Amino acid sequence: MIGTSKILTSVKYGYLLGFFALLSGIFYPFVQGGTLDYAIYGIIVLFVGLAGGIMIYKAGTSDKGRGLYLGIGFGLAAVALFFILQLTGRPL
């Protein structure tokens, strides 16, 4: 039973990685002849934002550690926003 749970977890994270790679435009550098840097940065930004969203969700559904979950969740969301602003070259 434990092996099935680990396989399911790895498939779940593999699916998320593939989805985020496509969402961040992984094919754009191949079509335009550029580098993969921005696609990888986009995947990282999406994962940080996802982690922040999960923490905010946990804050709404958990009785213990609500403040901690909210703090970490909004902190990760702020970090994702900071990354986006840095990648686009906009000032804070």
| Residue ranges of domains in the chain | 33-92
Instruction: Please report, in angstroms and rounded to a whole number, the separation of the first and last CA atoms in the chain.
Output: 49
Q: What is the average pLDDT across 84-92?
A: 86
**CB of 84 closer than 8 Å to CB of 45:** yes
DSSP assignment of the chain: -HHHHHHHHHHHHHHHHHHHHHHTTTTHHHHHT--SHHHHHHHHHHHHHHHHHHHHHHHHH-STTHHHHHHHHHHHHHHHHHHHHHHHT---
pLDDT at 45: 93
What is the per-residue pLDDT across 34-85, written as a single tens digit (0 to 9) for each?
788 888 898 999 999 999 999 999 999 988 889 999 999 999 999 999 999 9
What is the per-residue pLDDT across 13-40, written as a single tens digit (0 to 9) for each?
889 888 988 888 888 888 888 788 888 8
Q: How many residues does the chain have?
A: 92
Which of 2-11, 58-67, 83-92 has the weakest average pLDDT?
2-11
pLDDT at 26: 83
**CB of 69 closer than 8 Å to CB of 34:** no
Half-sphere exposure of 36 (CA within 13 A, CB side): 8
